[in-house]
Structures are given as structure tokens and as C-alpha cells.
Structure 1
Amino acid sequence: MTKDGRHRMDIKPGIKVNIVLKADQKTGKLTQGVVKAILTNSSTHPHGIKVRLEDGQVGRVKEIL
């Protein structure tokens, strides 16, 4: 099992992650932050679980740090 952000059970509020913002999907630029809320309801997602960071930014988790 990988910690690449595609499995909801690996992600908890308060952990540090790298996400891709919607605006950065073409470039793949990563944004680092701390998870405030998990927005994806399904247990897995092929592009990463969508989260809201503590600073309010929303994106899909690419790496769990």
C-alpha cells in the first residue's frame, strides 16, 4: 500500500501533505500544507483524495509527508 494520497484512510486532519491545486494541474506544481478537512467521500480516488488545507487552499493529495 502506497502513501501517495489515493486512499482516504491514509489521510487525517493535521498531517502534512503535498497537493496539486486545480490551477496547477497542467504543470503538476505541488503545494505543501496541513490537512484541515477531507473533501472526497469515496475511499479511493485515482487522482488523489481532495482536501482543504488549513490555509483554505483545496487540491488533490499527491504525497503524504
Structure 2
Amino acid sequence: MDGKNRQEIKSGMSVSVVQKQDQKTNKLTEGIVQDILTKSASHPHGIKVRLTSGIVGRVKKINN
């Protein structure tokens, strides 16, 4: 599960996201999903979410 399919991501899940300003360095930020912002079923760069901390980024990894 690499975060490219919307159905894999649910509110309350622990994920690692890359923020817009970190895309070149691919620095990951961990957090809990609050809202799913991508409306389509999938996205090649990862589903965009808002974390409970307010950070917005694309899911790169779903943590267990």
C-alpha cells in the first residue's frame, strides 16, 4: 500500500506524507489522517490528505 489509491486511506490512519516544499528532497512527515483532499480514485503522486496537525501533503507510505 503506497498511498496512490484513495480506497486504501481512511481517516484516523497513520501515514507518512511529503509536503509541497519537500518534494525535491522527498522528506517525509508522519501523522494521522484527518481529511482526504483528493477526489479521484487514484493519483500517480499519492493521495493528498490533511493531517490532524494541519499539514497537507501526498501520502507516500501507510504506516502500520
Does the alignment reach a TM-score above 0.5?
yes
Percent identity at matched positions?
60
The normalised TM-score by structure 2 is 0.98
The answer as to 2:62 corresponding to 1:61 is no
Give ranges in structure 1 of 5+ residues lacking alignment: none
Q: Give the CA deviation at 1:47.
A: 0.1
**Residues paired across the two proteins, number:** 63
Distance of 1:36 and 1:18 partners within structure 2: 13
Taking only aligned residues, the RMSD between alpha carbons, in angstroms, comes to: 0.2
- Aligned match of 2:34: 36
Q: Give the CA deviation at 1:15.
A: 0.2
Q: Give the CA deviation at 1:6.
A: 0.0
Question: SS where residue 7 of structure 2 aligns?
Answer: helix
- The aligned amino acid for 1:34 is I
